[in-house]
Amino acid sequence: MTAATSARTEPGEIDRLTADGVTMRFGGIVACNNVSLAVPPRSIVGLIGPNGAGKSTLFSVLSGLRRPTNGHVHMGGDDVTKSSPQARVRRGLGRTFQHPELFTELSVREHLVIADRVRHGTRRVWTDIVTWRGFRPGSAEEDQRVDTLMDSLDLTRVAHSPVGALPLGMMRLVELGRALAAEPSVLLLDEPSSGLDTQETADVVEVLRRVVAERGVSMLLVEHDVALVMGLCDYIYVLDFGALIAAGTPDEVRNDPAVRAAYLGTDTEELEEAIDRSSADLDEETV
Amino acid sequence: MLEYILAGLALGSIYAIAAASITVTYVSTGILNFAFGSFAYFLARVYYWLHTDHSWNIVEAAVVTLLVIAPMMGAVLYALLLRHLRSRSALIQIVATIGLFVALPPLAAILFGNETINAAPGLAPEPVHVYHIFGKAVSMDQIIVYAFLVGIVVIGTGFLRFTDVGLRVRGLVSTRALASLSGINPSAISLSVWMISTALAGLTGVLAAPTNGLTTQGMTTLMAAAFAAVVAARLRSLPVAVIVALLMGVVTDVIQKYLPASGTLATALVPSVPFVVLALALLFFYLRFGSVQDVVAGGGALDAAIAPQGGGATQARKVQRAVRAKSNALLSFRSVGSLVVLGVVALLPVIMCGYWLTLVVAGFIYGLIFLSFTFALGEGGFLWLSLISFSGLGAIATAQLETVEGWPALPALLVGALIVTPIGILLGILTIRFGELYVALATLTFGLLVETLIFTQNRFLQQGVGVSVTRPGWTATDKSFAYFVLAIFLVVAIFLVNMRRSTTGLALGAARRSQAASTSVLGLNVVGLKVLISALATFVAALGGGLLAMYSGTALPTDFPTFTGLVWLAVLVTVGVRSIVAASIAGLAFTIVPGLFQTYLSGTWGNVPSVLFGLGAIGLAIDPDGSVTSMARRLEDLFSKIMSRRDADPDSRPERPEGSVSRGAGVTALAGAGRKGRS
């Protein structure tokens, strides 16, 4: 399957992120086998699969933390396979982690400030120590950008709280805010609902939809919550044992026999009912 | 050749026993014992005291030392300290065990006497009988060492492989959590391991004393050699550690056959073998795996899953304070308090005179040097155990430029520090991808290598008198020199404050906490940031070394041994490693506290300050912030309480801000965020 061309990209537009025939081997183990996928502009793409399917490995390859054994990764049509994670961030790749990777010594606002400065004033990381900027306040433009983002994520009220003192749901929002402050064109979300209850999950879904609508960001999300993926994503890829076994719209994936057999199990009717029930609950919460 | 191999096997066997003990302790308890050398020294000193000073026979002295006192010592240290370290970060574990390393030798001096013992009896009766194997001489001491190694390997392997307790230990090594669920008591196993490993440390010390001497330096070198084997075994593989240790011993003796008996080459190369092995092992791992990260002992998937995330309410309060202190205006409670303390410190040269003024000046210089630790550990988050070597190199460079090349004092000082800085940058680049333990081990090795290869060169040593250095003419008096040093300290301190408050500081804070997020979310160049900090820390350490040489009038490399660097670290962490004020207080404490003991108490008490500094570092296991920072926090709390009482009038009390986070507020807080979005 050449999935890189399967996702629905409008004519004349270039996919924000593509994986072409990515294979990742660890010794004799093939974690990803010839996987191809595409993330078109302004879309939310899901990546699902059972435990051990290779989702996290593929995420590491896409974000540049691992270099694939074979295959290529493109951003906006350019080959970034050999680019470092930093270079991919500069090209517009953002990400969150399954277990929030936050800087516990910094406040919520500082998370957004450092991400904003990395985007708008990369040199300041190096020049501030000789230009004595530490003793001067931040610029008005920076304040405005950070405050607007905090407001849109409803983080203003905890702006000066240390992230180490926040509940998990808030931490996920801070992670998202930090990623957005760097103004990415495509965002990788690693299990954004992990550890959240139904209400919190519904809140996160709503925030993600709003971000795509308002900022035009593309998203690729790995998620175990099938109901969330079915309800949120425009297009879904399914991995099993490192190989891509299906790709399509939520309805297409839901009815794909290979997915049912490999991912959902054999007792399909019962599971289908469960998914439908969960999806209905999610829709009800977010409407 | 056979003679050299036999001698090398004896040396290698001692390394192997030490390496086996350190490895088993690490994999089963999760703590790399940086105090191993001091354990060995302390227990060998006990044996010497019983056997030589009190004429006990060998068996009685050995049994009491190794089978009674050593296990008891291990048990007591486990109960008081080591069991608390399991849940601490690698940095705290290293620093706390370094505290033990610093405290035990002076404690031994207090208990058993201060005499220097360059050769002590081992376990063989004296005069030591010499046998001949294939015509080559082998002493009874050597045979005993071989026998102990074989016995330990055979008994240890049999115990671990074929006994129920051995199975439990192996289970604990694989996963502590699952072992607990299977009915194994991890604490009991850890206690037993510490008792046995302390006994093995004692055995190593007793076996090494006849050849290495009964000195802290000898035992430090022994420990460093054992660490080389442990690193080659990637901190886990017992057979590899034993084999590498044996090979190191053999190589050390065999190369002597091919080197001139008395020459600088032999003097330099022979003690360098373990350090070369360590460097080669790290280089191999780096080229093979791309990085060398610490292996978490007893760490299965379940252990990772149940590991505490964050530190609960107490940790949250501490983080809250740290953030508040950073984000508040310049005139916060903490910054005003710091200025007051620095003001008092600045008055000391006016108040003090004579002997006490000399201590104050030296204290100022040490305060500056301690700021290099503040850069490396406090800002960079990496523990370099070789900063004292950079101070020594700074002193040497300053002396060479000023006295040999005829430069004026001030340019010699600054350029001397700049010359040393690239060495620190290189060390930073080499160790940047290592885990915390490996960084500490690599820099400890680097320090010992500099001490062995460079500090022993007669060009710098000048038959033990060093190269003379003079101060700038306008700092001829102690008082003017004190203010000269204080001015440099303040410039560095202001630079540090600016850095912390700037984008660089934010980036460093991010890199310290999550390298993955720093690189793959922010796109930060973490390696570059750490190299920058390496350069700054090296420059400050070298500058301090140059000033120390200027003040004493001589650049003497032997004033900068690696062991003393560990004492410096202990002093600083006792007071507080991230605080500028703490660095100045630590510097003064390092000179004035011993001065007080020497002036007002008898000679026996002279070792007490070192014990206290060591205990202070051990105290990090309880309060990782250090005493000054901890006290400042308490004062800040008290101040806040007083202020809140004053504002207790309900009409004037500010309302709790909407959405402020409290314990258990997780769901509510996020739900609030969502509700706002939906409305």
Q: Which two three-digit tokens encode residue B514?
A: 């999550």
**Integer Cα distance of B190 and B87 in angstroms:** 13
**Integer Cα distance of A263 and A240 in angstroms:** 7
**Integer Cα distance of B274 and B522 in angstroms:** 40
CB B412 within 8 A of CB B480: no
List residues bridging with B130 in a β-sheet.
B139
Report whether pLDDT(A265) > 70. Answer: no
Q: Are residues A201 and A117 in the same domain?
A: no
CB B74 within 8 A of CB B196: yes
Nearest CA to B412 among B425, B403, B421?
B403
- Percent pLDDT > 90 in chain B is 33
Q: Which residues contact B463 (CB under 8 A, 6 or more apart)?
A: none
**Integer Cα distance of A270 and A279 in angstroms:** 14
Report whether pLDDT(B63) > 50. Answer: yes
Q: Are residues A29 and A51 in the same domain?
A: yes
DSSP B145-181: HHHHHHHHHHHHHHHHHHSHHHHHHHHHHH-HHHHHH
Q: Does A110 touch chain B (CB under 8 A)?
A: yes
Would the CB atoms of B660 and A158 count as touching at under 8 Å?
A: yes
The region, left, alpha or beta by phi > 0 then psi within -120 to 50, assigned to residue B461 is alpha
Length of chain A: 287
Residue corresponding to tokens 């001139």: B260
DSSP designation for B525: -
- What distance, in Å, lies between the first and last C-alpha atoms of chain B? 88
Q: Within 10 Å of residue B60's Cβ, how many Cβ atoms?
A: 12
Q: What is the nearest CA distance from B101 to chain A, expressed in angstroms?
A: 30
Domain membership of residue B53 (yes or no) is yes
List residues bridging with A239 in a β-sheet.
A244
Q: Are residues A85 and A198 in the same domain?
A: yes
Q: Before B127, cis peptide (omega within 30)?
A: yes
**Residue among B309, B506, B661 minimizing CB distance to A106:** B506
Q: Which residues contact B92 (CB under 8 A, 6 or more apart)?
A: B85, B620, B621, B624
Would the CB atoms of A87 and B523 count as touching at under 8 Å?
A: yes
A105: chain B residues, CB-CB within 8 Å: 319, 322-323, 509, 512-513
Domain membership of residue A281 (yes or no) is yes
B678: chain A residues, CB-CB within 8 Å: 206, 286
Q: Which two three-digit tokens encode residue B18?
A: 């030490």
Q: Does A106 touch chain B (CB under 8 A)?
A: yes
Would the CB atoms of B673 and A182 count as touching at under 8 Å?
A: no
Domain membership of residue A145 (yes or no) is yes
Domain membership of residue A197 (yes or no) is yes
CB B204 within 8 A of CB B39: no
Which contiguous run of DSSP H or E holds residue B52? Answer: none
A118: chain B residues, CB-CB within 8 Å: 507, 522-524
Highest mean pLDDT among A185-199, B128-142, B370-384, B642-656: B370-384
Q: Are residues B499 and B595 in the same domain?
A: yes
Query: CA of A98: which chain B residue's CA is closest?
Result: B517
Domain membership of residue B21 (yes or no) is yes
pLDDT at B134: 76
Q: Are residues A66 and A176 in the same domain?
A: no
Number of domains in chain B: 2
Mean pLDDT value of segment B289-295? 62
Q: Report pLDDT digits (tens) over A125-180.
A: 888 888 877 777 778 888 999 999 998 888 888 888 888 878 888 888 899 999 99
The region, left, alpha or beta by phi > 0 then psi within -120 to 50, assigned to residue A106 is beta
Nearest CA to B310 among B301, B319, B300?
B319
CATH number for the domain harbouring residue A272: 3.40.50.300
B524: chain A residues, CB-CB within 8 Å: 86, 118, 125
**Integer Cα distance of B132 and B474 in angstroms:** 68
Domain containing B62: what range?
2-115+125-143+185-295
SS (H, E, C) B361-376: HHHHHHHHHHHHHHHH
Would the CB atoms of B661 and A103 count as touching at under 8 Å?
A: no
Mean pLDDT value of segment A84-109? 88
Q: Which two three-digit tokens encode residue B207?
A: 């076996």
pLDDT at B274: 83
Report whether pLDDT(B181) > 70. Answer: no
Report whether pLDDT(A35) > 60. Answer: yes
Q: Within 10 Å of residue A283's Cβ, how many Cβ atoms?
A: 13
Q: Does A65 touch chain B (CB under 8 A)?
A: yes
Q: Does A200 touch chain B (CB under 8 A)?
A: yes
Domain membership of residue B167 (yes or no) is no
List residues bridging with A237 in a β-sheet.
A47, A247
Mean pLDDT score of chain B: 82
Domain membership of residue A97 (yes or no) is no
Domain membership of residue A198 (yes or no) is yes
Mean pLDDT value of segment A229-235? 89
CB B297 within 8 A of CB B435: no
Q: Are residues A209 and A76 in the same domain?
A: yes
CB B90 within 8 A of CB B568: no
Amino acid at B88: R
Using pLDDT thresholds of 50, 70 and 90, give the confidence band for residue B588: very high
Q: Are residues B285 and B357 in the same domain?
A: no
Q: Are residues A259 and A171 in the same domain?
A: no
Q: Which of A149, A203, A204 is the best substitution to test chain B (most B C-beta atoms within 10 A)?
A: A203
Using pLDDT thresholds of 50, 70 and 90, give the confidence band for residue B162: confident
Would the CB atoms of B513 and A114 count as touching at under 8 Å?
A: no
State which of A167, A183, A199 marks the end of a domain.
A183
Q: Are residues A88 and A46 in the same domain?
A: yes
Domain containing A108: what range?
102-183
Task: List A residues 145-174 in contact with B (Cβ-Cβ < 8 A).
Answer: 153-155, 157-158, 160-162, 164-170, 173
**Residue among A95, A125, A162 minimizing CB distance to B320:** A162
Using pLDDT thresholds of 50, 70 and 90, give the confidence band for residue B263: low
Q: Which residues contact B262 (CB under 8 A, 6 or more apart)?
A: none
CATH number for the domain harbouring residue B422: 1.10.3470
Would the CB atoms of B504 and A135 count as touching at under 8 Å?
A: no
Q: Are residues B525 and B585 in the same domain?
A: yes
**Integer Cα distance of A35 and B145 in angstroms:** 59
Q: Are residues B286 and B343 in the same domain?
A: no
Q: Which two three-digit tokens encode residue A154?
A: 């409803």
List residues bridging with A20 in a β-sheet.
A72
B324: chain A residues, CB-CB within 8 Å: 160
pTM over 0.95: no
Domain membership of residue B310 (yes or no) is no
Q: Are residues B191 and B273 in the same domain?
A: yes
State which of B240, B274, B295 marks the end of a domain.
B295
**Which of residues B202 and B463 earns the better pLDDT score?**
B202
Domain membership of residue B436 (yes or no) is yes
Report whether pLDDT(A99) > 60. Answer: yes
List residues bridging with A29 in a β-sheet.
A26
**Residue among A63, A88, A133 minimizing CB distance to B503:** A133
Burial category of A232 from C-beta neighbours within 10 Å (exposed 0-12, middle 13-18, buried 19 and up)? buried
Would the CB atoms of B519 and A132 count as touching at under 8 Å?
A: no
Q: Within 10 Å of residue B132's Cβ, how many Cβ atoms?
A: 8
**Integer Cα distance of A210 and A171 in angstroms:** 18
Q: Are residues A80 and A190 in the same domain?
A: yes
Nearest CA to B536 among B501, B496, B569?
B496
> What is the three-class DSSP state of A102?
coil
Q: Are residues B270 and B351 in the same domain?
A: no
List residues bridging with B131 in a β-sheet.
B138
Q: Are residues B287 and B350 in the same domain?
A: no
Using pLDDT thresholds of 50, 70 and 90, give the confidence band for residue B674: very low
Report whether pLDDT(B421) > 60. Answer: yes
Cα B380 to chain centroid, rounded: 16
Q: Are residues A88 and A209 in the same domain?
A: yes
Q: Are residues B238 and B362 in the same domain?
A: no
Domain membership of residue B160 (yes or no) is no
Residue corresponding to tokens 């007893």: B298
Strand pairing of A186-190 and A218-222?
parallel
State which of A158, A183, A208 marks the end of a domain.
A183
Report whether pLDDT(B45) > 90. Answer: yes
Taking CA B200 as the corner, what is the angle to CA B195 and CA B205, rounded to the nearest 5 degrees? 125
Q: Which residues contact B239 (CB under 8 A, 6 or more apart)?
A: none
B330: chain A residues, CB-CB within 8 Å: 135
State which of A164, A183, A202 marks the end of a domain.
A183
DSSP B195-219: HHHHHHHHHHHHHHHHHH-BSHHHH
Report whether pLDDT(A284) > 70. Answer: no
Q: Does B650 touch chain A (CB under 8 A)?
A: no
Mean pLDDT score of chain A: 83
Q: What is the nearest CA distance from A258 to chain B, expressed in angstroms?
A: 31
**Residue among A89, A128, A165 minimizing CB distance to B504:** A128
Q: What is the nearest CA distance from A257 to chain B, expressed in angstroms?
A: 33
Q: What is the nearest CA distance from B491 to chain A, expressed in angstroms?
A: 12
State which of B610, B634, B658 marks the end of a domain.
B634
Q: Which two three-digit tokens encode residue B676?
A: 């706002």
> What is the three-class DSSP state of A248?
strand
Domain membership of residue A28 (yes or no) is yes
Q: Are residues A81 and A192 in the same domain?
A: yes
CB A100 within 8 A of CB B513: no
The interface pTM score, or ipTM, of the predicted complex is 0.78
Half-sphere exposure of residue B446, counting CA atoms within 13 Å on the CB side?
24
Would the CB atoms of A160 and B509 count as touching at under 8 Å?
A: no
Strand pairing of A93-95 and A186-190?
parallel
Q: Are residues B421 and B557 in the same domain?
A: yes
Query: CA of B506: which chain A residue's CA is closest?
Result: A114
State which of B239, B272, B295 marks the end of a domain.
B295
**Integer Cα distance of B668 and B659 in angstroms:** 9
Number of domains in chain A: 2
Report whether pLDDT(B17) > 90. Answer: yes
Q: Does A195 touch chain B (CB under 8 A)?
A: no
Q: Are residues B477 and B584 in the same domain?
A: yes
CB B586 within 8 A of CB B571: yes
Considering only CA atoms, give the Rg of chain B.
Answer: 27
Q: Report pLDDT digits (tens) over B378-409.
A: 888 888 999 999 999 999 999 999 999 999 99
CB A114 within 8 A of CB B507: yes
Q: Does B498 touch chain A (CB under 8 A)?
A: yes
Would the CB atoms of B661 and A158 count as touching at under 8 Å?
A: yes
Query: CA of B523: which chain A residue's CA is closest?
Result: A86
Mean pLDDT value of segment B321-341? 63
**Integer Cα distance of B524 and B522 in angstroms:** 5
